[in-house]
């Protein structure tokens, strides 16, 4: 199987670190709002990859996190303040909503679905390791990653320092914090001052009370559940920098082992009405709203009809078409099927159908082409249709 690896920028043959076992970590949600189609697109893309790896006979160990606490103010904390609820209650509420939406789409629940707030001690240990090895420094109760000490910082995103600064303006609230040696240094631990303590999450640590940085959370939880080196690390394209770049620097710096992840996979951004689907643009399409009008299989079909690695634009007419395609497949499934033979060889065509389907997905997980192939099988009333349709996560 070939897969597009963001680290090399090329399609590479997939060979896991251990023969038949694949470890995969996918960055999860920050739970303070409803699941939109952009989230669903990322998580159903990785769901189809995991299903296909299992279809090929691999044992898959899959971890996904929930960023229910981090160093930032402008997501959960601002929302909790506005609604007069605790950050913990808000995070629990939206995590449950996310899981309900994703399970409605027949999403595979990860082997480990882990909350950052329950793994603070792992993050503290990792930060201490980075301090001990000289990759981090302390300032007034906070700890920062010294990016100047990390050789190859930027190897994933391939951005220049000027470009990194530009992107960081949108992501890092503390870019110009005077405590930092360099604005691009990453917050590993953010100190809490005593007057803030009742209002914001804080945890005891050898550095003083505070909370972990967003980036160190994923390094710590990935290493805790899947080991110091993993096969696949996934997430949306917008996480490539600084989030994933920082994860590489932190994990490889602490463990001394490279690569932290052998394959970095980034799912394509979803657009709506010409702009990236996002809260700030006000152009969100909610999964729960779509589920009122369309079947879960139709939504999954729409998502898989777009290639996982490419950006795409949501248009309702495409979802209407997806519903029609799903109806066509499901009507074919209730009609009787016949096993057909190649006249010359006496080989059942069904074995060939499975091989053709696998060859399509072996080519960088080409789900749009695989769906077209399923429609052909439906026309032929192929007995393989049922297994191949459900192998991509469609509910029967
Ligand atoms: Zn992450």
224 annotated binding-site participant: no
Topology classification of domain 18-271: Rossmann fold (3.40.50)
pLDDT at position 70, please?
A: 87
**119 labeled part of a ligand binding site:** no
What's the pLDDT score for residue 297? 98
Q: What's the mean per-residue pLDDT of the chain?
A: 92
* 76 — pLDDT class (breaks 50, 70, 90): confident
Using the CB atoms, write b or e for 291-327: b if 16+ within 10 Å: beebbbbbbbbbbbbbbbbeebebeeeebeebbebbe
Residue 301 has pLDDT above 50, yes or no: yes
> What are the sequence ranges of the domains in the chain?
18-271, 315-391
Annotated binding-site residue? 247: yes
Across 100-112, average pLDDT: 97
Per-residue pLDDT for 375 more than 90? yes
Distance 321 CA to ligand 1 centre (A): 34
As a whole number of angstroms, the distance between CA 391 and CA 47 comes to: 11
Residues 6+ apart with CB under 8 A from 309: 4, 265, 266, 267, 268, 364
Residues, beta carbon < 5 Å, ion ligand 1: 27, 218
- Residue 276 Cα to ligand 1 midpoint, Å, equals 20
pLDDT in tens, 377-389: 999 999 999 999 9
Q: Report, in angstroms and rounded to the nearest whole number, the Rg of the chain calculated over CA atoms.
A: 23
Confidence bin at 133 (pLDDT 50/70/90) = very high
Task: Report the distance separating Cα 349 and Cα 256, nearest Å.
Answer: 51
Q: Name 25's bridge partners.
A: 63, 233
Backbone conformation region of residue 191, classed left if phi is above 0, alpha if psi is from -120 to 50, else beta: beta
Specify the CATH class of 315-391 in words: mainly alpha
Each residue of 79-97: b (16+ CB within 10 Å) or e? bbeeeeeebeebbeebbeb
pLDDT at residue 220, as a whole number: 98
Average pLDDT value for residue range 30-55: 94
Cβ atoms < 10 Å from Cβ of 229 = 18
Burial class (CB in 10 A: 0-12, 13-18, 19+), 9: exposed
Q: How far apart are CA 395 and CA 379, in angstroms?
A: 20
How confident is the model over 178-214, as pLDDT tens digits?
899 999 999 999 998 767 655 678 899 999 999 999 9
Give the Å distance between the CA of 247 and the centre of ligand 1.
8
Is 218 annotated in a binding site? The answer is yes
* Residue 177 among known ligand-binding residues: no
Check residue 343 and give its pLDDT: 47
């Amino acid at each position: 199987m070939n897969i597009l690896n963001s680290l090399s920028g090329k399609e590479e043959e997939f060979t896991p670190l251990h023969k038949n076992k694949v470890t995969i970590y996918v960055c999860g949600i920050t739970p303070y709002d409803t699941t939109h189609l952009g989230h669903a697109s990322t998580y159903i893309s990785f769901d189809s990859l995991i299903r296909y790896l299992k279809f090929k006979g691999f044992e898959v160990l899959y971890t996904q996190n929930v960023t229910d606490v981090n160093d930032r103010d402008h997501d959960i904390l601002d929302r909790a303040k506005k609604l007069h609820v605790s950050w913990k209650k808000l995070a629990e509420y939206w995590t449950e909503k996310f899981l309900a939406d994703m399970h409605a789409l027949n999403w595979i629940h990860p082997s480990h679905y882990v909350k950052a707030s329950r793994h603070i001690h792992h993050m503290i240990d990792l930060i201490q390791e980075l301090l001990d090895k000289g990759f981090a420094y302390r300032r007034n109760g906070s700890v920062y990653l010294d990016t100047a000490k990390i050789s190859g910082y930027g190897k994933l995103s391939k951005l220049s320092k000027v470009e990194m600064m530009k992107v960081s303006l949108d992501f890092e609230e503390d870019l110009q914090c005077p405590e930092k040696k360099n604005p691009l240094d990453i917050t590993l631990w953010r100190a809490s001052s005593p007057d803030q303590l009742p209002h914001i999450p804080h945890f005891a640590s050898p550095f003083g009370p505070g909370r972990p940085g967003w980036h160190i959370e994923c390094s710590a939880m990935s290493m805790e559940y899947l080991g110091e080196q993993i096969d696949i690390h996934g997430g949306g394209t917008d996480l490539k920098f600084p989030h994933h770049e920082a994860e590489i620097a932190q994990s490889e710096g602490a463990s001394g082992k490279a690569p932290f992840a052998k394959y970095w996979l980034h799912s394509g951004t979803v657009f709506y009405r010409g702009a990236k689907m996002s809260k700030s643009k006000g152009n969100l399409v909610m999964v729960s709203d779509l589920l009122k009008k369309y079947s879960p299989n139709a939504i999954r079909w729409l998502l898989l009809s777009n290639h996982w690695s490419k950006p795409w634009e949501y248009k309702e007419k495409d979802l209407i078409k997806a519903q029609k395609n799903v109806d066509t497949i499901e009507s074919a499934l209730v009609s009787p099927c016949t096993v057909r033979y190649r006249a010359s060889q006496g080989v059942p065509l069904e074995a060939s159908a499975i091989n053709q389907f696998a060859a399509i997905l072996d080519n960088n997980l080409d789900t749009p082409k695989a769906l077209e192939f399923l429609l052909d099988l439906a026309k032929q009333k192929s007995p393989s249709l049922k297994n191949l349709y459900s192998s991509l996560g469609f509910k029967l």
